[in-house]
Structure formats: structure tokens, C-alpha cells
Structure 1
């Protein structure tokens, strides 16, 4: 396999024309490429402001797309599942085009193979940062006693609260601070009713859960966040159950979410709600690959 089998573009429409059928063929495993490219398509590439422009690529053989990747700086590369040979050819392709590469996110064997190939080809050490698990909703079940309070879809009056919580969430999960303005993130979610709050009976927000817009029949729950001083009271379980129920009611074929495998509490919670494991993913950091 040759690195020339990979094709790079910064034209989102051209990428989607080429890759759409492939991405739709496995909507659960391809949930991140599907949801991110749909956001870029509907909101525009300017959402990334002064950051370097997103770019996209496909592996094509005999007129058929076999794999795809994309990157929205300053985030790591996101790649669909690859064989070891495909991972090696992608490392050669990416090293050849000369873009900085801070890391990779993908199905765990794919991410490990690409990290190894990148280190061999560039000399840049790769470090495993996070192990994730992708879950799919089965039979929805209340996780336990429902805490006092009620769900409510966030509106314009909640913008400051959502922006604050998004900033706290991003710091907690190690997301690059320059990736998106918290206020703009809140505006985008409010616009399509994408955040549900669990609030006290007096209207005080206690926890939030978001969902992505439906694309290729799948919706992903993200993010779920409760401020540290309010955790352990059942709010995250209650609001996640609510958004999962609402997502299923839209007719989505698959309702998905990711967890950090280092957090046994959240993994146990989502399984009690009815989520079942689909695949493991991993995030690797590459030394010296940050954007200038």
C-alpha cells in the first residue's frame, strides 16, 4: 500500500462528496467524523476563527473509499478504523504533507498502530493520554431514585451558565482552550435545543447533558457535566436519562456516548441506564506536534 492512496483536501464539500457513503456505512464507529463534519457543514468553517483551517482526507482504492480522517486544529487527528498497513501508509502520507500533528484519536488498535508508525517515521515520541469506550443505548432504564428537580431545555437566558460549564468541562477533560469560544459553543447548542439542564425546584441549574444533531441515524450524548460540588447526588444520571429518552423519541436508530475508561463511576452509571459497549478508543499525544 502506498501513501499516494491517501487524498488530502481542505474542501469540506469535496470530502463529503467522496466520503459520505463510507461514513454512513458504520454510523456508530464513525460518529465523530459524522457529527463534526455536519457541524462544519451547517455552521461554516469560520467557527474555528483564527485557528488553522480544518483539513480532511480519504483512503481510496479502485474508486472506493476505505478509510477517512480529519483534523480541526488545535485538536488531534481523528481517524476511522485502519489495518496496520493502512496506518503505516497514513503516517507516511501525513509526514509527507508536513502538517503539524499533535496526536491522534481513533479505535484503540488503529490509534496505537498510527502512533507507532508516526514515531518510527518522524522520531516524535507518542504517549497514550486517554482510553475511551463507545457505548450504544439498549433498553433505557432509570439508574436509581430520581433526585429532586426537573429537566429543562436550555435557552438564551442560560447562555452564561452554559459557557461557564463548558469552559470547566473542557479544562476537566484536557480539551485545548483555544478550540472554541465558550459563548459561541453555547449559542450553537441553544440554537437547536442541544443542551438539557437538570434544575432544582427553584430553578437553579444543577447539571447538564448535551446531544449532537442527528446525522446518519445516530445521535451522540455529549457533553455530560456536573460541577464538582454537586456530584454524587444523581443529577448526571437523571439528565442523561432524559436526553437519552428524548434522542430515542426523535427516531434515531442509535444513541451513543463516549466515556473515559479511567472513570469507573461514569462507566457504571451509563451501563445502569442501559448503554452497552460498542468499541474502545484511544487518544495519543505526539511530542512536538502542536500548532504554532
Structure 2
């Protein structure tokens, strides 16, 4: 857990959170340059049905951040996505949600918990290292486009 831990608690997202999750998914996609890679409503429905999104809520019950997890496959689980709205950042909410999801993954039997982050973002990288993650490798993403044959 980040030190100091932010006020509030973690809880699994439910159908009552659907509109919030839909909005946050759209904001997250926009922030990382995905621009509508998937319908946000369908994404929220899938994650709620699977129970794979944890929210950090403030003491008054308002959601402040989310951290998700993929299914456990071959002993590995990936944390994704992690998101805090811009106006709530810097308070430890995402770190607390990520620590909670990571702890739950290990308790459920994950041998490895993976988290991919933007190496150009020192804030998130520092946070993840403070809660126990360590850098392993850098990856590059390439996008190829088809060209007409001549």
C-alpha cells in the first residue's frame, strides 16, 4: 500500500458503477491514444460481469480511481487498466487500488503479476516501484498499415 495510504477503501465495481466506468474507459483510451479501441459500455459490462475492476473510493463513497485485472492464465495476471481522473491525481488513489488488486492476485494464486506502463511517465513508474513492482523489460509497439499492391 502506498505510504501514507489515502483515505477510503477498495471495493469491486458493480453494475451501479457502469456509467462511471464507461466514462473512465473512454478517458483512459483518449489519454493513451487508443481513441475508441473498444466500445466503452461493452468493456464496462465485461469487466463488471467478470468482477475484474477494483475501485478506490473516498470516505464519502465517491469512486476516485480504478485498477483492473485480466484473468489468471498460466500463473500470470496482468494489471490493466489503472486510471484516476486528472482532477484526483497525486493523492495515492491509483496506487492504493493497484496494490489492492495486486495483493488479491497473489492471494488467488498468481505466480506473476504483470503491469505495463509508459516508460516516459516517471510519476506512474515511481509509484509502481514504491508498491513493489520492478522494471523487467522495455517494449515497443509498431503499427503497420497495408498499402495497395502495384
TM-score by length of 2: 0.94
Map 1:1-292 → 2, pairs under 5 A: 142-177=1-36, 179-286=37-144, 288-289=145-146
Q: Which has the higher strand share?
A: 1
- Could you list the per-position Cα deviations for residues 3-41 of structure 1 after superposition, in whole angstroms to 9, with x for gaps in the alignment? xxxxxxxxxxxxxxxxxxxxxxxxxxxxxxxxxxxxxxx
- Structure 2 residues not aligned, in runs of 5+: none
Instruction: Give the alignment's Cα RMSD to 1 decimal.
Output: 1.3
TM-score by length of 1: 0.49
- Could you list the per-position Cα deviations for residues 125-180 of structure 1 after superposition, in whole angstroms to 9, with x for gaps in the alignment? xxxxxxxxxxxxxxxxx231001111010001111110100000000001141x31
- Give the match's secondary structure for 1:247: helix
Q: How far apart are residue 289 of structure 1 and its match?
A: 4.0
Give the distance between the partners of 2:123 and 2:135, measured in 1 at CA: 15
Aligned length: 147
Instruction: Considering Cα pairs closer than 8 Å and 6+ residues apart, tell me whether 1 or 2 has the greater RCO.
Output: 1
Q: How far apart are residue 201 of structure 1 and its match?
A: 1.4
Dislocated runs of 4+, deviation >4 Å:
none
